[in-house]
Every structure is written in structure tokens, then in C-alpha cells.
Structure 1
Amino acid sequence: MLQAIRDKATGLVAMLIIGLIIVVFALWGIESWIGEPAVPIVAKVNGTSITMQDFENEFQHSRLSQYTLKHGAPNVKKTRELKRQFLTEKVDGIIRLQAAETIGYYYSQAQIEAELRRSEGYSRDKYNGLLAQAGVTLEADLAQRQKRIYNEQFNYVIRQAEFFTNSELLENWKMQHRTIEFSYVTIPAKSFYKDIKITEQQLKEYYTKNKKQFMIPASVQFSYVELGYKQFTKIPKVTDIDISKDYAKYKNGYREPSVRKASHLLVKVDKNAPPKKVAAALKKINEAYAQLAQRQNLRRTGEAPIKVGRLFKRLVKKYSDDKFVPGVVIDPIKQKALYDALNNVPLSVNSKPVRGEKGFYILYLTNSKAGKIRPVEDVKELIRNKLLRFKAIELYGKKVEILNAQVFENSETLEVAASILKLGIKTTAWFKKGDKYTGVLALPKVRTEAFGKDVYANGDVDASVNSRTININSGKPTARTIVIRLSKYKRSSFKTFEQVKVEVTSLLRNELARTNAKKLGENLIKELKLKPDFNAMSKNHAWIVTKSGSVNRFNTKIPSRLIKSAFSLGVPVKDKKYAGSVQLANNDFVVFILEKSTYGTMSKVNAQTKKIYQLGNAAMMSEVLLQNTLDLLRKNASVVLKSHLIESSNDEN
């Protein structure tokens, strides 16, 4: 059914689809809360409930964690705002899901899991493990994927129902590429500066009225200690006895790779080849492999008169893009994929197909020799570095354990841990809202802890406690562990009048000049509306009249506000002209007369450009249709919200 809707989607069909959905939604009627279950429900959408538990779980794992990583822990007000936004999105999601089902779209969770199983390297146990780490069950993940697919399909159906006709294309192009000509006079705001007299009282009144402009935001400073893995790499010592013991214990680990010689059958295909070429090459290599596999089975039962080696040579001639070579050494490093493909392959037996640098290979093992164990002198430095690394890791781990214990037992200070571990206590730069995160605060993990409710403590230094140990780049040479706490807090304040007097003088002067320029400009407009002619007006005023020339909407030489205002006046007809005005960002006031308008034409536009323009406009109109459809569905849906429940729940500080 969905495909039929896609194939026949037109503006009329869209209206029929939307009409069907609205009728179904209307049948739900007004929801009541009679017989409400014991589990708190924050919303009902056409009979579908959103429980408090489900809402809180999803909010914590998605929206809140994303916000905290980027901005730090939100305060109570921001948390409530995020919850309201999240609830609105969930309601919209359910409306889309129900709409998709109404128009006949169905995609089961079993189908979704079947698609996952077809993915390369998929293992249900491994996937469940990854989901468990994220605190999500397989059932919840499949349900979320199902909702996302339903939403996408609903959006697709509505978007496909919009189109852009040739007549609409011409009309749109005509207006978008219209050019205009106008004359204008600029009244500079700075020309009023010399006549503006500002008293001390006016300055103080402006300062009092606009005091928020002169606020100094609250700022914080954190202190922290840091343990780095690198600082322990030079401390341990490794003796020759240690090296001898390790060599004796792990001697086989220092064996050189076995020498493997093999002939190959190659079907060439470039790494960046299109899927069709890759599929063709894979088909060809599999045909050759199928014959080899069949012959090997027959050889095992004694039914094959021809040896596999002979058959391999024939198949190379038939299928391979390379000539037959009796056997070459496979490099275990440069040709790792081919080398590994011969693991557990007996002599005079071929490998399975494998992707290599030049394409797909089948290898035929002609010789194999076990690698020799390298003498201790050859691997001495290798062992030394390995043992140094292990000892450094062990020492680093022990120090992290001490740090973890001390910052927990002495949560009100970093000094005890710093003293025991001989660490310096560092401080961050002062930070206020809007500043760029620098230093350790640029690390998301550190930022999450620093602005969490326990460490930040709403700016109360005495109530602040040490953060947990924060592990950065675990398992890497750059690994380090950080503990952070609030050090200093400056509450927001206002600059004094004396501190900003010069700034206030400039701001007030600009405001008065802006007002004077506008007042004079509005008087000129009154004259021009009676008679839109700068020549007549110039007898009374010594203004410089500027001609715009022919300009389009995308002109960058004339101020954008002026261009926008001139195009908004309409289209002059015959000898009729329009007068208009606009105040620019620099406070200058412009008075103008729109004199001429010329429609855009597609006579010199090639077919490709027309098509791109048509598709682009159809895409924009489809987004408008989608938004209007959703607005209509929301209006007709039976939605009951209990927003007070989410706002009274445990908010993050």
C-alpha cells in the first residue's frame, strides 16, 4: 500500500491521505483519565500512554546526557525546559507513528532484527553486550528503530505528495529574479552628533534603565590534580634477569612468522570500484572456488581423477587476471590479509576467497616452513620496553587507586591526595557563561563532572566536594586521571556608573542621533508621499541623491536592509512610483523612491538549471507541506498532557 501511495502521490492524493489520517484521529474522541493505572502517566496521545518511568529513562539516557556532555549539568530551570521540549518531541513522534500505521505502513521488529543479522560481522550476543553497556535492552533498541523507520516513511510519503509545476516555476523565477531601480537619500546619524548635548542626569537615567547591559556574569575557577601515565614510564628498572625470565616463559612469542609460499588466482577489482563491479568480481571468484571445493571433496572420497593442483592451474588460466606462478613468498606484513587466509590451510590445498590489495584472491599453498625462534639478544630491547611498559602500567594503576581512595575519604579537599602522591594542585582559568572551554574544561568528561551538582554545588565553594577520578584516554600512552573541585566563585555583578560612563555616553549619543535621523527622515517621507520626486524636494534640502542602477535581491554593494525594504514595496505601474524608508544598522536613515521594476525571464536559462531550480523549490514546498500536515494532525489528535508531573520530578541541579 505504501508503494502505491508513493507512485500516485500528488497534491490531491496528499489531501486524501491527510484527510484519512484526521478522520481516524477524530474517532479517538476526548480521552478521559477514568480508570487511570497506578503507574503515573505524563501524556496520552490518541490512547497511547507515555509513562513517567519510560519518559524519565529516555530523557536521562538521551537528552540530558547529550546536553551535559556539551554544556555541563543544567540547573533546575534548564532541566524543566529540556523536559518540556523532550515531551513535545515524544508526542510528535507518536502522532507520526500512528499516522504511518493509518496509511498502511507496517515494518515489524522481527524484520528489523533480520536486517541486522544480514549486516557483516553481526552477532546477537555481541550486540546485546554493546546495548547493555549503554543501559539499553534489545527490545527497547528494536522498538526505537521501528519508531524511527515509521517516522521516516511518514515524512517520505508526505514529501513525495508535493510537486512544482512549470507555470509555478516561471512565476517563481519571475519574482525571485526581478530587478528594480530606485533613487535614495541617506541621512547620516553622525551629522547630529555636534548638536547633541547630554547631561549627567541623562547619563545616569540611561545607565539605570539599561543596567543589564553592564552586567558582569558569574564566573568560576576550578582546582584539580592530575596523574599521567607518562610520568611513570621512566621510573621502573628492568634487569637482564627480568629479560631472561620473560624470554624463557614467552619464547614462542618471539618466533619469526612461518614462511608461506603460494600460487594465486586473482580477479582484479579496484578498492574504490562501484558496487556492480565488485559484485561481478565476487561472482567470478566464487565460481572458481566452487569448482575447487567440489574437487577437494571428491579427492577426499577418492573419486577425483585430477589433482587439485592441476585443476587450480587450469582455473588460473580460465579466470585469473594474472599469469600462473608456481609459488611466491607471502609477506606476513605487507600482504597480511593473504597471509592470514592461509592459516590452518594444509599443504597443496587452496584457501577460501579473500579480498587483497588488487582484488579477490584464491591462494594455493605450495610450501610452508615454521619460523625460527629469535635469539634473546635480538629481542632484548623489545622485551625491555615491554616490561617497562607493564611496570609503568602497574605503578600508574596503584597510584590511581591511592588517588581514588584519598579524594573520596577527604572529599572536601585535594591537598591530602596531592601531598601523598606529591602532585601539584593546578587551577583552571576563570570561566564565565559564553566563554570558550579551554584546558581540562575542554574535555567533555571533565566538564560533566565539574558542572555536576556535587562539584559545582550551585557556586557554593564550601558545599563543593571532589569529583570522582576521571579517566582520560584509558589504555593509551596519553592516559591520565584527573580529579576536579570548585575553587572560587564570583557571583554576577554590575559595573559601576563611573566604570561605564564613557560607554554610556557613546551609547546614548548614538541613540539620540538615531532618533533625530529617523524623525527628519519621516518628515521627508511625508513630502515624498505627496509628490515622489527628489528634484522637487532638493530645492528645500541640500541632499545628495544616489541612483541604485538595476539591482537584484542578491546585491551586496547596497545595504541589505535597504534592498529588502525596496523589494517589499511592490511593483510600480506606468508612471506611478513608491516612496519608502528604512533605518540601517549603523543608525543612518534612508529615504528612497522605487522607480522601475523588471521581471526575471527564463529565456536564456538552460534545461539543467531549470530542472535543478524546479526540484529545489519542490523540496522547499514539500517541507512546508510536511510541517502543515503535522500541525493539522496535532490539532486533530486527542492529546492529554500532565506536564506538572515531569516538572515536579527529581530535577538535576
Structure 2
Amino acid sequence: MLQALREKTSGWIAIVIVAILAIPFAFFGMEQYLFQSSANYAAKVEAPPSWWRSAPDIWPVRKAVWQSREVSPEEFRMEFEAARQQARATQGEAFDARAFEQVENKLAVLDQLVDRAVLSLAADGMGIAVGNSQVREVVQSMPEFQVDGRFDPQRYQMLLQSRVPVQTPREHQEDIRGRLEMVMLPSRVAGSAFASQGELDRMMGLLGQQRDVAVAMLPAPEPDTGAISAAEIQAWYDGHRGDYRAPEEVSIEYVEILGDAVPEPAAPDEASLRARYEQEKSRFVEPEQRLVSHILVRVPEGADDAARDAAKQRAEAVAARARAEGADFAAIAGEESDDEGSKAGGGDLGWLERGIMGDSFDNAVYSVEPGIPSEPVLTDFGWHVLLVREVREGKEVPFEEVRAELAEAQATTDRERAFNDLIGRLVDQVYRNPSSLAPAAREAGLPVQKAGPFVRGGGEGIAADPAVQRAAFSDALVQDGTVSDPIELGGNHSVLIRVTAHQPERERPLAEVRDEVVSAIRADRASKALLAVADAAVAEIADGKPLAEVADGKGWAHMDLPGMRRGMPMPSAEANEAVFAAPEPAEGKVSAGRVVQDDGSIVLYAVSKITPGDAGEGSEQERAMLQTQLARMAGDEDALALMRALRQRMRVTTVEARL
């Protein structure tokens, strides 16, 4: 039999079958073997080129002509860290770093980066570009780079230098350019949305709608006093076991280490301070600075030769006027400059140093003669007429002027080193005795303290700190009973803890929670009884019986509320919302219903008449504001729809293992 099978599969028929099967594998399977293992990205977005929108999504074509953008693991980590810092700042002590590391959070951050890559590819495909002037306007308008409402070059440079990683002005501007190019498409789509007059009139009619309604108040139910059988108690307990669980608890012992436990270090000697000065000498060098004013004549993006020549001629005329004897440069800048950020201040740009405004501008500033307006100088921003009003020579700050600063820095360093040395000695003791805090406490001369039992989110003092809670409830400390690593609570403030007792989450037996179960049954009975009464009353009102008559028969307080408007908190916000959600009553009928309040009371309502709002009642200002809001809502929806459509046209590949 096997011989026959071999003969059947070794002839020309088998060769044809193998050849046919090889074709789809060549197009759809080979890439899995050739490229997947070498991928070095967290996500990759691929799109057909602009000149072949319908390029098929098959491997050879995609590899040959499709465009792509990759999200590197480094880019993801930077964005995820930024999201972590934002969450920490928002949530404060409630922030749980361990929970934040969940895969769902990582995928959400990655999805944002994928959206950026999608928009970047779409912008490239549509030829979207952002010019230098627009980038500069955005940078100068950013509040973090402003002092007293004006762009400050020194602050700009300082903040870029303090970033991690450090950015140069050119790198920052290119980053801004890329972001502007990405958001331009969705922002333009969102900005094109509008609300028609018909939509505005309908919305004004809905917002201005009035309803004539009668309401009755059913007070919160009286406590149930009926007998409760053992079977009912058992049935309720069995059906609500999740409500009767005791939370997880731990007890801990700990050693708290504060900076006060470390003796004050000796004052640094002169040699140490001078050595530190030499090591950090670059910090104490003031670069040359120039106090600069300018008059800008912009060259429009994409301008033709005629427009460029016109801008140059205008700049030359402005320069000649500024260089004339007795000319007021500040006044001319106020009249002629195209730089809206500085013209009001007479073109003043403040003190500048190299590296702030870009190479072309810096070279121009450092090439002009101080005190004399320059001839027009062409930079990336346009034509400038520059005036260097003052020069502050660079200099090295002598040791004597910064000795106090160095001494304070050295003292801080010594205190931190002594504290870290103490922590290191305690950690050594913990390694030698991982199941006891006593040796570490003796090494530091500190007491072993106790806390607990406490639950997650509970505790007092040290036990309430989120970092301590995360460690105390961690599997490692709970299961092993070992001493934790040092937990940093603040500057020169750490703690070592050990879990001494652990009570896992458990189901509380019926005998322990019997009274709670009985109370729940009584509350449920009373609530259901009141709901039954309310539903019967609603049925009577819907059948045509006046609400006032029903309420009087039951002794309920009631009132008529003619002309009720949307959003009025009468008799409550929940009741108002229900009243305006009720269907329009039929001719001669009412639209009845009921609303359960937070306190257990119930509001009955009967809507008898609906009066549409008058679309022309609102003022022009109110109509304009509402129309803007409607257009913004429609624009946001359009932008989201665009984003969904773009992602559907592109191929997105994610590698979760690299997150």
C-alpha cells in the first residue's frame, strides 16, 4: 500500500500539485519566514503610495512600493513613561505603578503612537507641509517659553537643555513641524464642519421646550417588620455571596529611616570645593550674549521670484530708513515688522546667545556691528534688519563667587551619600538575615515598629503610603515573609518592611453576617413593596385617572409644574431628566412614569402637554455660541471618522513582545 502511494505521489501529477501550492505560499507565506523574526519595532504602519492608491496588499507589492512608518521600542518607552508621569501627577498618592504596567495601558499608548504614524503617512501622501514661519509662531506662542506674556529665548534654551533627552532648538522645531503636519489633516476636516440653520433651529426648539407636568412624591419606604424564615436568609446569602466577603488584610513590622538618622557631615574643605569647581567648570561659564532688536520682512511660503524680490526691496527700504541719521529703530519696527510677537516692543528680542534661534539667524546676529542697523539679512524666517544694542562678553565666573553654592551642593551630596551608605549597610544586614528586621534595626540604631492589620487602601501612617501598600500586598513578601528592599517615600526617607501576618480575602460565613443579610432582605422587601405601589399608581394615571386624585387617595404630596424647562432641578435633576425623556402624550392623554431617587423615595410624574421652544427666542450671541458648539461636535465626529477610515486603508502590525 505504501509503495502504491509513493508511486502515485512521485509522478507529474504530484509535481503540478506542488507547483500550484507554491504560488500562494510565495505571495502570502514567505514573509512570515523571512522578515518577522528580524522585526525591530513595536508597531509598523504601511500604506499604499499616493501614485497607486489601489496597490494590492500582497507581500511583493507591499515590500516594493508601499510606504511605512515604524514605532520603535525606544519611542514607545518614552511615550509610556510620559503617560506614567502624567498619571502620577493626576492621581497623586492613589497612583499604582504596578497596575499601570498592565498590558491594556501599554496597548492604549501604542495605539496613540500608531494613530500618529497613520496621520504622518496620510500627510506625506497628500503633500502636506508646514513652513518655518508657522513653526516659529507656534513655538513663540507656547506659554512655557514665555516670560511676562512674551517669548523669552533664554527660557526657551534653558527648558530645552533640561529635557531628557536634551533637545536643540532645531530638533525641537522639527518635532513641532512633524506634529503640525500630523494634526493638520484632522484639524482641517474638523474645521470644515458646520451646523445648518435648520439644525440650529431644531436644537433651539429642543432646548427651549417646556412641559406641563404633575408630580407626586412617595417617601422612602418604612422598614419592613415581617417575619423572615431561615430559608429566605439562606437563599439571599447564596444569591449575594459576593457582597459578604472579607477583604485581604496584612500586618507588618517596619524600620523607618529618615535623614535625621545620619550625622551631619563635616564641612567640605577648600581642596574638595576647588576640585568640584574644576569638574563642573562648564556650569560657571557665561557665554557671550547680545541684546538684539529686529525688523522682519516675511517671505511667503512657496513665494515666486517676483514675491521674493519684492520682499527684498521692501527690506532694503526699511534698512535704509533705519540707518538714516536720527532714526528711531523701535518706532520703525512697530510700524514695519511682520513679527507680531516683537513689534509691539519695538522689535526687542532680548538677550540672545548662540544656539537659540538657529544657525542662520545666529550667524547674522554675530556678524553685524553693534549699534548700527544692519543691511537686510536673509534667514529661514525671511529678511531681517538687525540692531545689536549691547554686547555682554562671555566670561568665566571665578571660584570665589560660587564658593557658597559649591559648598551647599557638596554638603547635600555628602548627606545623600551618608544616607545611601546607611541604606547600603541595612541592605547588607537584610541579605544576611532576610527573615528578620532586628539586625538592620540594630545597625541603624532604630526601633522595629508594627502596623496593622490593614486592608488595601486602608491603614494609617506608613501603612497608608501607596508604595508600602504595594509591597505589603505583593506575592513575594506575603508568601516568603522576607524583608523588603528599601522603599523610598521621599528625599532621604525610606522604610524596610516585613509582612508578619496575612489574611487572604475570604467568604464570611452566614453566621457572621446574619444581621447584615436580614437588613438587606428587609430593605429589599420595603423597596419592592413601594415600587409595586408606584407601578400600580402609574397604571392608574395612564388609564386616565388624574395624578392629583391618585396622590390624594394615598396621602402623597403632589404639585403641578406648568412650563417646566429642561435642566431644572425640580423636583430633582433625575426627575427632570426622566420627564423630558418621556414620550409625547397622545391627544387627551398623559405620559406617566416614575423615578427612584437616591434616598429610596419615588417621584411619580404625568406629562400632559409639550410646548416646543421658539427657535427665534434666543439672542444672536446665544445662537452663535450654540452653533459653534454643534459645529465643534460635528467636527470632532468627522475627525474620528477620518481616523477610522485612514486606519482601514493601512496595514498595522504590532509586536506586543517589544512593549
**TM-score category by the smaller chain?**
0.5 to 0.7
2:446 counterpart SS class? coil
**Aligned partner of 1:607: which letter?**
E
After superposing the two structures, state which structure 1 stretch, 460-469 or 585-594, moved more.
Answer: 460-469
**Which of 198, 206, 209 is residue 167 of structure 1 equivalent to?**
198
After superposing the two structures, state which structure 1 stretch, 397-406 or 276-285, moved more.
Answer: 276-285
**Aligned partner of 1:406: which letter?**
L
Consecutive unaligned residues of structure 1, counting only runs of 5 or more, are 1-28, 250-266, 269-273, 296-319, 321-337, 346-372, 375-381, 474-478
Deviation at 1:92, TM superposition (A): 3.3
Q: How does 1:547-586 map to 2 (within 5 A)?
A: 547-572=560-585, 575-586=588-599
Deviation at 1:160, TM superposition (A): 0.2
**Aligned partner of 1:82: which letter?**
N
Q: In 2, distance between residues paired with 1:114 and 1:284?
A: 17
Q: How does 1:50-129 map to 2 (within 5 A)?
A: 53=73, 57=77, 61-63=81-83, 71-74=95-98, 79-106=102-129, 120-121=153-154
Q: How does 1:355-370 map to 2 (within 5 A)?
A: none
**Aligned partner of 2:571: which letter?**
I
Deviation at 1:206, TM superposition (A): 1.7
Aligned to 2:424: 404
Closer/same/farther in 2, CA of residues 220 and 166 from structure 1, 3 Å limit = farther
Aligned to 2:208: 177
Aligned to 1:279: 345
Deviation at 1:527, TM superposition (A): 3.2
Closer/same/farther in 2, CA of residues 640 and 531 from structure 1, 3 Å limit = farther
> Does the CA-based 8 Å contact 2:214-2:560 persist in structure 1?
yes
After superposing the two structures, state which structure 1 stretch, 48-57 or 117-126, moved more.
Answer: 117-126
1:562 counterpart SS class? helix
Closer/same/farther in 2, CA of residues 124 and 205 from structure 1, 3 Å limit = same
**Aligned partner of 2:95: which letter?**
H
Percentage identity across paired residues of the two chains? 14
Q: How does 1:239-318 map to 2 (within 5 A)?
A: 279-280=345-346, 282=348, 293-294=370-371
Deviation at 1:280, TM superposition (A): 2.0
Q: How does 1:138-537 map to 2 (within 5 A)?
A: 148-191=179-222, 193-194=223-224, 196-220=226-250, 223-230=253-260, 279-280=345-346, 282=348, 293-294=370-371, 394=414, 397-408=417-428, 410-411=430-431, 412=434, 413-426=436-449, 432-435=455-458, 439=462, 442=465, 447=467, 451=470, 456-462=474-480, 464-468=482-486, 470=488, 472-473=490-491, 479-483=492-496, 486=499, 488-531=501-544, 533-534=546-547
Closer/same/farther in 2, CA of residues 223 and 73 from structure 1, 3 Å limit = farther
Deviation at 1:400, TM superposition (A): 2.7
Q: In 1, distance between residues paired with 2:584 and 2:614?
A: 16
Q: In 2, distance between residues paired with 1:216 and 1:53?
A: 42
Deviation at 1:576, TM superposition (A): 4.1
Deviation at 1:232, TM superposition (A): 5.0
- Structure number with the bigger relative contact order (C-alpha 8 A, sep ≥ 6) is 1
> Does the CA-based 8 Å contact 1:218-1:432 persist in structure 2?
yes
2:536 counterpart SS class? helix
Deviation at 1:605, TM superposition (A): 3.7
**Aligned partner of 2:102: which letter?**
T
Aligned to 2:301: none
**Aligned partner of 1:591: which letter?**
L
Closer/same/farther in 2, CA of residues 57 and 110 from structure 1, 3 Å limit = farther
Deviation at 1:558, TM superposition (A): 1.0
Q: In 2, distance between residues paired with 1:538 and 1:480?
A: 66
Closer/same/farther in 2, CA of residues 397 and 532 from structure 1, 3 Å limit = same
Closer/same/farther in 2, CA of residues 188 and 401 from structure 1, 3 Å limit = same
> Does the CA-based 8 Å contact 1:180-1:552 persist in structure 2?
yes
Q: In 1, distance between residues paired with 2:605 and 2:162?
A: 69
1:548 counterpart SS class? strand
> Does the CA-based 8 Å contact 1:182-1:547 persist in structure 2?
yes
Q: In 2, distance between residues paired with 1:82 and 1:601?
A: 48
Closer/same/farther in 2, CA of residues 176 and 542 from structure 1, 3 Å limit = same
> Does the CA-based 8 Å contact 2:191-2:635 persist in structure 1?
yes
**Aligned partner of 2:128: which letter?**
Y
Closer/same/farther in 2, CA of residues 93 and 70 from structure 1, 3 Å limit = farther
**TM-score with structure 1 setting the length:** 0.60
> Does the CA-based 8 Å contact 1:400-1:481 persist in structure 2?
no
Q: In 1, distance between residues paired with 2:596 and 2:220?
A: 10
Deviation at 1:127, TM superposition (A): 5.4
Q: In 2, distance between residues paired with 1:389 and 1:130?
A: 21
Closer/same/farther in 2, CA of residues 489 and 105 from structure 1, 3 Å limit = farther
Deviation at 1:281, TM superposition (A): 6.8
Query: Is 1:36 aligned to residue 4 of structure 2?
Result: no
Closer/same/farther in 2, CA of residues 589 and 632 from structure 1, 3 Å limit = farther
Consecutive unaligned residues of structure 2, counting only runs of 5 or more, are 1-26, 48-67, 141-150, 276-329, 332-339, 353-366, 373-388
Q: In 2, distance between residues paired with 1:244 and 1:459?
A: 47
Closer/same/farther in 2, CA of residues 71 and 144 from structure 1, 3 Å limit = farther
Closer/same/farther in 2, CA of residues 575 and 222 from structure 1, 3 Å limit = same
Query: 1:192-223: CA deviations, max 9, x gaps?
Result: x4564322332232223212223232244555
Q: In 1, distance between residues paired with 2:272 and 2:107?
A: 61
> Does the CA-based 8 Å contact 2:486-2:494 persist in structure 1?
no
Closer/same/farther in 2, CA of residues 223 and 50 from structure 1, 3 Å limit = farther
> Does the CA-based 8 Å contact 2:248-2:456 persist in structure 1?
yes
**Which of 136, 160, 164 is residue 131 of structure 1 equivalent to?**
164
> Does the CA-based 8 Å contact 1:178-1:599 persist in structure 2?
yes
Q: How many residues align?
A: 504
> Does the CA-based 8 Å contact 2:189-2:635 persist in structure 1?
yes
1:581 counterpart SS class? strand
Q: In 2, distance between residues paired with 1:245 and 1:452?
A: 44
Aligned to 2:17: none
> Does the CA-based 8 Å contact 1:177-1:553 persist in structure 2?
yes
> Does the CA-based 8 Å contact 1:189-1:588 persist in structure 2?
yes
1:38 counterpart SS class? helix
Q: How does 1:611-622 map to 2 (within 5 A)?
A: 611-622=624-635
Q: In 2, distance between residues paired with 1:527 and 1:63?
A: 57
> Does the CA-based 8 Å contact 1:510-1:587 persist in structure 2?
no
**Aligned partner of 1:169: which letter?**
L
2:609 counterpart SS class? strand
Query: 1:391-424: CA deviations, max 9, x gaps?
Result: 7864663353142143145232443332122123
